[in-house]
Each structure stands twice: as C-alpha cells, then as structure tokens.
C-alpha cells in the first residue's frame, strides 16, 4: 500500500465537470493498493495519516498533525501508484490489486480516518478524476505501509 501525502492549502476532485469533494487546509492523499495488501496495513495507514506531524507549529517546525490544525483529509484512489516503470517505456500494472478488493480497502481507509474525527472527503473509485491542489510548502511525503 502506497500513500502520496501532500500538505495543502486546498484540494478538490472533479468528475465530469462537477466537484465531488474538496477540502481547505489539510492533506491530499493519493492511495494505491497492490496484491498482498492486508487490512492491518489499512489500519496502520489510517493511524499514520491522522497523526503525521507535517504542519508547522508556532516556531515553524513541522510538529502538528492534521487533527491539531483542524484540517481535512482528501483521499483519492490511484491505482497507478502500483505501477512499475523499471523496465521498458510503459509502466506495468500487474501488481495492482484487483478493483473490487482495492475498493473495499479504500472504503475502510476512509471510514477509519473519519472515525478519528477528521473531516474526510474522498475521490471517486474507478472514475476519471481531475485533482486540483495548492501544495503548501511544498510538502510531499511518500509512505509505504509496512507488510
């Protein structure tokens, strides 16, 4: 399971010209699942996202979590994070989790983050999305959930 976490001033997801989700200050998280990912990885990821301290405190140090700044999290499913571009000129997606299973994991991740009291928005699974964001910093962190 791979997460690309971006600290944002704002972010939104548009499908077919209609905004489907948006947040102000918070985290935009692209979420990718690979074969072999298990529910425990989803649980770990929800906890990590909720407590990751990448917002500045009064001294400007990254010391506050999204909950500490009353921010939101916009979770966006992104199977291309499972891509392998190490060979050839086109990435292989052979390691990507099948959509039905990935959708179940994604739903669970969204539920677990929301259960922590964080405003949670979500992209639309298996849809072509336009994702807009204002990256704050820029701060971008790539997290691979431990097996």
The number of domains in the chain is: 1
Beta strands in 16-129 (DSSP E): 18-23, 26-32, 55-56, 62-64, 72-77, 119-122
pLDDT at 45: 98
Average pLDDT, the chain: 97
Residue 125 in contact with residue 103, Cβ under 8 Å? yes
Q: Residue written as tokens 């939101």?
A: 72
Structure tokens at 144: 């691979």
Tell me the residue range of the domain where 68 lies: 2-144
Instruction: Report the distance separating Cα 134 and Cα 7, nearest Å.
Output: 8
Instruction: Give the bridge partners for 34, in sequence order.
Output: 96
pLDDT one-digit tens code per residue, 58-99: 999 999 999 999 999 999 999 999 999 999 999 999 999 999
Q: What is the CATH number of the domain that holds 18?
A: 3.50.80.10
């Amino acid at each position: 399971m791979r997460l690309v976490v971006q600290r944002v001033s704002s972010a939104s997801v548009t499908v077919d010209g209609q905004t489907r989700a948006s947040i102000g200050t918070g985290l935009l998280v692209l979420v990718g699942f690979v074969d072999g990912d298990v529910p425990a990885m989803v649980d770990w990821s929800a906890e990590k996202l909720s407590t990751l301290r990448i917002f500045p405190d009064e001294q400007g140090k990254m010391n506050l979590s999204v909950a500490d700044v009353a921010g939101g999290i916009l979770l966006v499913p992104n199977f291309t994070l499972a891509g392998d571009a190490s060979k050839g000129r086109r990435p292989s997606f052979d390691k990507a989790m099948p959509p039905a299973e990935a959708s179940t994991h994604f739903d669970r991740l969204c539920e677990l983050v929301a259960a922590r009291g964080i405003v949670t928005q979500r992209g639309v699974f298996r849809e072509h999305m336009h994702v807009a964001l204002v990256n704050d910093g820029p701060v971008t962190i790539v997290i691979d959930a431990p097996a």
